[in-house]
Amino acid sequence: GHGNSTARLHAVWTLEGLGDSEPQQLLPALQDGTPEAVQVAALRVMVALGCAADELLKAMPADPGESLALAWIVALGNLDLPPSSTVRHVAQLLLPRMGDPLVRDAALSSIAGKELALLDFLWQRLQAEPTDPGAAVFLELLASSIVRSRKPQASARVLDKIEDSTDWRQAALLEGIRALEPVLASRPIELPEQPASADLPVLRRLFAWPGHQPSPRHPALARPLTKPEQHRFTRGRQVYLGSCAACHGADGTGMRFLGPPLAGSEWVTGSQERLVRVILHGLSGEITVAGKRYAPPEVQPTMPPMAGLSNGDIAAVLTYTRRAWGNRAEPVAVGALNKIRIAAQGRAKPWTE
């Protein structure tokens, strides 16, 4: 009850350091006023000290602030709750915050192993066209998580939902499956029966069922991504949608009056160093892509630099673009990008072709 919030915060962490055997005595701290840091710390400490889940849920606020909502989503993944309860509480916190990448990542972590149940819970609740593009991104990530497990029955349920809808939700699920093409194309998932949406080309490439086997993939097209590279690819999809899709299109085919295509572009699949320098400093003037000349006003006169992105995000988005839409180039590693950024220091104007 100390009047200084910093003192209350220190007290919470002191109890954690002492391994307090009665974590429930921190319940009043979950109702602490501003700042939320005291509530966040109390929640983390109570979970770590093994406070009963039912006691914690009684103190869960109906409308927490952003940092507290994130802390609750993380906490729910560490509580001993029935799967349906975890999914319901995570979804309620997630739905109004799908635009926040940290919230999306925390939700996926907390419902690990329950992704299909969360998809079922969200499906009708996300029927209306979303005002936040984060909803589509989350459905993509959810579909990727389910199909990546390679469980035939779970994958078939996702495909059933694709057939069940013709709206933005279908497009999001399909994009989530396309994101796995670098790893599934070499070893398609065996489904127990033909899906209703069997005529979709991407499904015919990545899934097998009685009477259908995908055509063998040419080994020279691309090696399968490693697990860290696949994580980088998935992260790159999120960065791309937020930073690049407005000019180059969500499908990489370019946008008239804005940017040329990235699908099939030798600029994307060629030299990594050249590509990184374009991202860091931008590009101005005319450019030839896949044999076609692009010049203003068909595209913008200058692609602005994106040096404000972290090295991790640049490596992720370039890994994505070099493997999406049929591109088959090597992924970009953060270490290689670090060296290029250091070597390119001091340049103040965009490159030309």
pLDDT band at 88 (very low <50, low <70, confident <90, very high): very high
Give the helix ranges, DSSP H, for the chain.
5-17, 37-48, 53-58, 66-76, 83-94, 101-110, 115-123, 134-148, 152-164, 168-178, 181-184, 201-206, 227-243, 245-248, 266-269, 272-281, 311-323, 334-343
Does residue 180 or residue 205 have the better pLDDT? 205
**Which helix (H) or strand (E) covers residue 288, if one does?**
strand 287-289
Average predicted confidence (pLDDT) for the chain: 86
pLDDT band at 1 (very low <50, low <70, confident <90, very high): low
Give the helix ranges, DSSP H, for 124-252.
134-148, 152-164, 168-178, 181-184, 201-206, 227-243, 245-248
Among 15-29, 44-58, 79-93, 236-250, the range scoring the smallest mean pLDDT is: 15-29
Instruction: Provide mean pLDDT across the span 257-285.
Output: 92
Tell me the two tokens of residue 42: 């109390």
Prediction pTM value: 0.64
What does the alpha-carbon distance between residue 181 and residue 326 come to, in Å, rounded to a whole number?
9
What does the alpha-carbon distance between residue 199 and residue 201 come to, in Å, rounded to a whole number?
6
Has residue 125 got a pLDDT over 60?
A: yes
Closest CA to 189 of 155, 217, 163, 145: 155
Q: Which of 62-66, 243-247, 248-252 has the highest mean pLDDT?
A: 243-247
The answer for residues whose C-beta is within 8 angstroms of residue 158's C-beta and 6 or more apart is 116, 119, 143, 146, 147, 173, 177
Instruction: Provide mean pLDDT across the span 157-163.
Output: 91
What residues does 209 pair with on adjacent strands? 212
- Give the pLDDT confidence score for residue 296 in this predicted structure: 87
Instruction: Provide mean pLDDT across the span 50-56.
Output: 82
Has residue 219 got a pLDDT over 50?
A: no
pLDDT band at 27 (very low <50, low <70, confident <90, very high): low
